[in-house]
Amino acid sequence: MKFLDQAKVYVRSGDGGGGAVSFLREKFVEFGGPNGGNGGRGGDVVIECVDGLNTLIDYRYQQHFKAKTGTHGMGKDRAGAHGEDAVLRVPVGTQIFEDDNETLIADMTEVGQRLVMLSGGNGGFGNAHFKTSSNQAPRHANPGLPGVEKWVWLRLKLIADAGLVGLPNAGKSTFLAAVSAAKPKIADYPFTTLHPNLGVVSIGERDFVLADIPGLIEGASEGAGIGDRFLGHIERCGVLIHLIDGTQDDIEHAYKTIRTELSTYNVQLGEKPELVVLNKVDAIAPEELAAKVKLLKKLSRQNVLQVSGVTGKGVDQVLYGVIETLDATKAAKAEALRRQTTPGWAP
C-alpha cells in the first residue's frame, strides 16, 4: 500500500427535505384538513477514526464527499427520511485542518473517535405544522435548509513511541530492520527512505513502536530536501534516537545539523528526550572511535551509545534505553497529574 500523509478533500452536508402541502380528502371522513408531513434532515459529514489504516491513500482517488439530501415530506402526515451521512474513515493520528492548512479542527487520536464536522440542513415543516385555530387551511410549507460545504486538509501524523532521526545514510533503515519485522528499503545512496516506516520492537517483555523518517539535511525545517514534511511524524514520539554515522569525518556538524533542524521546526520537538547513538562502529578504528565518542559526549552532554546495525552490536542497549526513557516520562506525567489533582498542593 502506498503511503500518503496529506490530502485535501471537499465535503458537503446534505440539504434538508422540503415540507409537503397536502389536504385530507376522504369520502367518509367528516373533517378534512392539512396533512402535509415535514421534510427529512440532510445527512451529516462525519469523520471516524478506525483501526487497520496507516495511510490516507484512499483520498488521492476520491476528493469529493457529499451527504445525501433528506427526503421531502408527503401527504397523510408522512415525514421524510433523514439523508445518509457521508463518513470519512481515517487512520489514528489524523488531524483535520481548515482550507488555510493552519487552523486545526480536530485531532483524531483514538480508534472509535467520531466527529460531526458538518451538520446537515434541517427539513422544512409541512403545512400541517402551521395549522392554528385562526388558520385551519394553511397552503404553504417550508423548504429544507441547505447543507454546508468546505474544503479541508487531512494530515496524518504517525503515532509511535520512539523515532529515528539523522542525516541521510546514517543507518536508520538498517537499524529499524535489525530490531523489528519492518522491511524498509536499504541501499548505499542517500534518500533511500522516501516515506516513513513503522516497526514494532520487542525487547524483554516489552513492546514499543519505532518510526523511521527520511533523512534530514541542513535547511530541512525550511523546506530543503524531503524530510521537512515528515518531521510531524515524530512530534508524538516519547523519545528520539539520534543516529550518527560514525564513518563520516565531521560528526560534530552532523550532530549540530539535526539538533538545529529539530529545534527550528518545533521548539518542543527539540526538547524531547534523546538518545545519542554512534552507528557503524564496526567500521571504525578503536582510536578514532574513542575520539568521536568523546567529542559527542562533549556536544550532547550525555552518554553516547555505540551500535552497529549490521552486526547487532549495542542494539539491545539502545532499546532498553528507549524503554527506560519512556517509563521515566510516563512516571513524570503521572506525578504531575497527581500533584494537580491533590487538594491543597501548590508548586
Question: Does 18 appear as a known binding residue?
Answer: no
User: Among 97, 73, 85, which Cα is nearest to 8's?
Assistant: 97
Q: How many CB atoms lie within 10 A of CB 154?
A: 21
Question: Does 73 appear as a known binding residue?
Answer: no
CA–CA gap between residue 156 and residue 4 (Å, rounded): 8
Question: Does 105 appear as a known binding residue?
Answer: no
Helical H segments across the chain, by residue range:
58-61, 172-179, 251-265, 267-270, 286-300, 315-341
Question: Does 309 appear as a known binding residue?
Answer: yes
Question: Does 76 appear as a known binding residue?
Answer: no
Question: Does 194 appear as a known binding residue?
Answer: yes
Grid coordinates given for 32: 378534512
Question: Does 159 appear as a known binding residue?
Answer: no
Question: Does 272 appear as a known binding residue?
Answer: no
Question: Does 167 appear as a known binding residue?
Answer: yes
Question: Does 344 appear as a known binding residue?
Answer: no
Question: Does 281 appear as a known binding residue?
Answer: yes
Question: Does 282 appear as a known binding residue?
Answer: yes
Question: Does 308 appear as a known binding residue?
Answer: yes
Question: Does 192 appear as a known binding residue?
Answer: yes
Question: Does 22 appear as a known binding residue?
Answer: no
Question: Does 196 appear as a known binding residue?
Answer: no
Question: Does 279 appear as a known binding residue?
Answer: yes
Question: Does 310 appear as a known binding residue?
Answer: yes
Q: DSSP characters for 24-67?
A: E--TT-S--EE-PPPPPPPPPEEEEE-SS----THHHH--EEEP
Question: Does 172 appear as a known binding residue?
Answer: yes
Question: Does 94 appear as a known binding residue?
Answer: no
Q: DSSP characters for 242-294?
A: EEEETTSS-HHHHHHHHHHHHHHH-HHHHTS-EEEEEE-GGGS-HHHHHHHHH
User: What are the residues whose beta carbons fall under 8 Å from the beta carbon of 338, sequence distance 6 or more?
Assistant: none
Question: Does 171 appear as a known binding residue?
Answer: yes
Question: Does 214 appear as a known binding residue?
Answer: yes
Annotation: binding site for GTP: 166-173, 191-195, 212-215, 279-282, 308-310
As annotated, the binding site includes 166-173, 191-195, 212-215, 279-282, 308-310
Please state the residue numbers annotated as binding site for Mg(2+). 173, 193
